[in-house]
């Protein structure tokens, strides 16, 4: 670690005050980086994937997943086999990662609001802004933040250079799977139709990233963010990606047909009424295999785009001073626990790929310690020798990047709306919902989380131990919160999903 790069007292310094009221006091003291410092700094290629679960070759989440480029990146760097998002939804997960704060601290739980509209977060320094303040040129394309940052002036505050927005790209003339439940949402679609890979948003994002790397000024370090949209729905792919997978039931993930009998009813409240079809609809409409194949095909397509970026780094001459990082904002169910989509606190929603490669990172590291996307912010500061900050809730992964077996006490915590949290240790997953109902799974014997052991008397002490990691702050939803927001009033036992009350006896929406 190049400790000589540290300038802790010259850096942006943010004092985090007023925990309960989310009052942030900003104390800015920005100074210029010296020219000598900037020529020695490492570049960062920061690659995000959207809704990518652990169906990645070397993560063994699916036996037929084909991701040769992510697998080769893992081999030349360190991959985290037990990495988890802080929220199982785009906006809160990305806000958490980019601000270095938990969703239970920011109060950002839904698809809205954009965090810059929230008083305590309006001037919060994001990860790319911190790099910019230390002499980096920051660039972005595709989906990094969940929402648009606003007009050109607002965007210029977030990144120096904005490339293509990416997104879906080519679409078929009409939905391929027909009408889906809960409003026939246009994104709820998947399958193969004739189009060109070059016409997909993700292809264009990768092309732009490759151009920026090739044209980068060797005198100024860069922070390049490339955010891929797939395998987010609609999962459209061309025939060559479908042909990587058999059209048979070996593709289907293992499920237990009565799996939810031992799951608290409250778990349904977290995804009460959503456009993502339930497994029942998927099966009745003979779409399970097709959805699974489409998702795997899109994952392989994105993997190939990431491969193009890795190749550009290798050909640029910058490889020995460029950190490449790949992460996904959260996972996705494809039938497990009777649902598709996200918005759950189980492994298929929380476990994500997280790979670092480059200077300062051990080759071939495979880390089984539970880690959080929240850890990315302090980790990149450490790897790049940029001043650390004392207001981040993550912990640098530096020790694990040097030695994947290094000790780490803290488990990974995922939150979905106030009062609903999951604690993932190396062996266990403990979930506690706002109504105090619980789940406990032993990953040593139950990797699919089929057997809820929370009521076993023998695990009472274990639960107490895991519970101490529940977030100390459990913020109410920030002003403007909307879409997938759940609140619960314990005194009346009434939950409220997106403004709609839920009572104990209401039938579960299909
Ligand atoms: Ca997402
Ligand atoms: Ca079960």
Summarize pLDDT for 48-74 with one digit per residue, the tens: 999 999 999 999 999 999 999 999 999
**Alpha carbon of 450 to ligand 2 centroid (Å):** 4
**Alpha carbon of 3 to ligand 1 centroid (Å):** 35
As a whole number of angstroms, the distance between CA 8 and CA 387 comes to: 5
Ligand nearest to the CA of 259: 2
**Alpha carbon of 264 to ligand 2 centroid (Å):** 10
What percentage of the chain carries pLDDT values higher than 90?
A: 90
Phi/psi for 177 (5° steps) reads: -105, 5
pLDDT at 195: 98
Q: Is the previous residue joined to 345 through a cis bond, with omega within 30 degrees of 0?
A: no
Helix (H) or strand (E) holding 301: helix 288-316
The structure tokens 């990662």 sit at 97
**Alpha carbon of 89 to ligand 1 centroid (Å):** 6
As a whole number of angstroms, the distance between CA 448 and CA 253 comes to: 10
Ligand nearest to the CA of 451: 2
* Nearest CA among 294, 302, 296 for reference residue 49: 302
Strand ranges of the sheet holding 494-497, from the earlier edge strand across to the other edge: 486-489, 494-497, 500-502
Ligand nearest to the CA of 95: 1
**Alpha carbon of 95 to ligand 2 centroid (Å):** 32
**Alpha carbon of 4 to ligand 1 centroid (Å):** 38
pLDDT at 40: 62
pLDDT at 33: 43
Domains of the chain, start order = 3-502 (3.40.720.10)
**Alpha carbon of 338 to ligand 2 centroid (Å):** 11
CA-CA distances (angstroms) from residue 77 to 1, 73, 274, 357, 470? 16, 6, 38, 4, 31
pLDDT reading at 422 higher than 60: yes
pLDDT at 150: 85
Question: Taking ligand 2, which is a single-atom ion, which protein residues have CB atoms under 5 Å away?
Answer: 259, 262, 450
As a whole number of angstroms, the distance between CA 379 and CA 46 comes to: 12
Ligand nearest to the CA of 97: 1
pLDDT reading at 219 higher than 70: yes
pLDDT reading at 240 higher than 90: yes
**Alpha carbon of 460 to ligand 2 centroid (Å):** 19
CA atoms within 13 A on the CB side of 113: 15
pLDDT at 199: 98
**Alpha carbon of 448 to ligand 2 centroid (Å):** 9
Average pLDDT over residues 18-24: 35
Q: Buried b vs exposed e over 104-143: b needs ≥16 C-beta within 10 Å?
A: bbbbbbbbbbbbbebebbeebbbbbbbbbbbbbbbbbbbb
**Alpha carbon of 412 to ligand 1 centroid (Å):** 18
Q: Between β-strands 428-432 and 438-442, what pairing exists: parallel, antiparallel or unpaired? A: antiparallel
pLDDT at 37: 45
Between 11-25, 158-172, 229-243, 405-419, the lowest mean confidence (pLDDT) is in 11-25
pLDDT reading at 8 higher than 80: no
pLDDT reading at 3 higher than 90: no
pLDDT at 149: 83
Q: Between β-strands 222-228 and 137-142, what pairing exists: parallel, antiparallel or unpaired? A: parallel
CA-CA distances (angstroms) from residue 312 to 40, 119, 140, 144? 20, 40, 16, 20
pLDDT at 112: 96
As a whole number of angstroms, the distance between CA 424 and CA 440 comes to: 10
pLDDT at 147: 80
pLDDT reading at 18 higher than 50: no
Residue 466 structure tokens: 């895991």
Ligand nearest to the CA of 261: 2
**Alpha carbon of 460 to ligand 1 centroid (Å):** 35
pLDDT reading at 413 higher than 50: yes
pLDDT at 22: 37
pLDDT at 6: 29
More confident of the two residues 83 and 27: 83
* Nearest CA among 243, 226, 348 for reference residue 294: 243
Ligand nearest to the CA of 450: 2
**Alpha carbon of 48 to ligand 1 centroid (Å):** 10
Ligand nearest to the CA of 94: 1
Q: Which residues are catalytic?
A: 90, 146
What mean pLDDT is reported for the chain?
92
């Amino acid at each position: 670690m190049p400790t000589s790069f540290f300038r802790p007292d010259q850096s942006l310094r943010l004092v985090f005050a007023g925990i309960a009221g989310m009052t942030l006091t900003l104390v800015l003291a920005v100074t210029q980086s010296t020219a000598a410092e900037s020529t020695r700094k490492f570049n960062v290629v920061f690659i995000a994937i959207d809704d990518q679960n652990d169906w990645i070759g070397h993560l063994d989440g699916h036996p037929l997943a084909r991701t040769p480029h992510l697998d080769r990146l893992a081999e030349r760097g360190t991959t985290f086999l037990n990495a988890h998002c802080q929220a199982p939804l785009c906006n809160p997960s990305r806000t958490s990662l980019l601000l270095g704060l938990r969703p239970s601290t920011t109060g950002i739980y839904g698809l809205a609001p954009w965090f810059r509209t929230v008083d305590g977060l309006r001037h919060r320094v994001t990860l790319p802004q911190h790099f910019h303040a230390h002499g980096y040129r920051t660039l972005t394309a595709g989906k990094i933040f969940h929402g648009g940052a606003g007009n050109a002036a607002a965007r210029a505050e977030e990144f120096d250079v904005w490339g293509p927005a990416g997104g879906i790209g080519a679409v078929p003339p009409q939905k391929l799977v027909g009408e889906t439940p809960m409003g026939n949402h246009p994104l709820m679609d998947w399958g193969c139709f004739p189009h060109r890979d070059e016409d997909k948003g993700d292809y264009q994002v990768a092309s732009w990233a490759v151009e920026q790397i090739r044209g980068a000024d060797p005198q100024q370090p860069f922070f390049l963010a490339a955010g891929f949209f797939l395998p987010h729905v609609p999962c459209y792919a061309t025939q060559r990606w479908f042909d990587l997978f058999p059209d048979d039931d070996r593709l289907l993930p293992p499920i237990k047909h009565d799996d939810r009998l031992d799951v608290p009813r409250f778990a349904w409240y977290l995804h009460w009424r959503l456009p993502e079809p339930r497994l029942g609809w998927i099966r009745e409409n003979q779409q399970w295999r097709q959805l699974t194949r489409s998702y795997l095909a899109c994952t392989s397509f994105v993997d190939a785009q990431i491969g193009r970026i890795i190749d550009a780094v290798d050909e640029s001459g910058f490889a020995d001073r460029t950190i490449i990082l790949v992460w996904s904002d959260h996972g996705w169910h494809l039938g497990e626990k009777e649902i598709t989509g996200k918005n759950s606190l189980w492994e298929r929603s929380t476990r994500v790929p997280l790979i670092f490669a480059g200077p300062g990172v051990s080759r071939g590291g495979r880390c089984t310690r539970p880690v959080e996307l929240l850890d990315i912010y302090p980790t990149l500061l450490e790897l790049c020798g940029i001043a650390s900050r004392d207001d981040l809730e993550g912990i640098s992964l530096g020790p694990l990047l040097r030695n994947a077996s290094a000790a780490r006490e803290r488990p990974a915590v995922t939150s979905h709306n106030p009062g609903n949290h999951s604690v993932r240790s190396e062996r266990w997953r403990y979930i506690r919902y706002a109504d105090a109902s619980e789940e406990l799974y032993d990953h040593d014997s139950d990797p699919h989380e089929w057997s809820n052991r929370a009521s076993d008397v023998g695990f009472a002490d274990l639960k107490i131990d895991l519970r101490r990691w529940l977030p100390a702050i459990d913020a109410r939803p920030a002003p403007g919160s909307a879409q997938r927001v759940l609140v619960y009033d314990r005194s009346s036992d009434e939950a409220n999903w997106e403004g709609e009350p839920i009572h104990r006896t209401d039938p579960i929406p299909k």
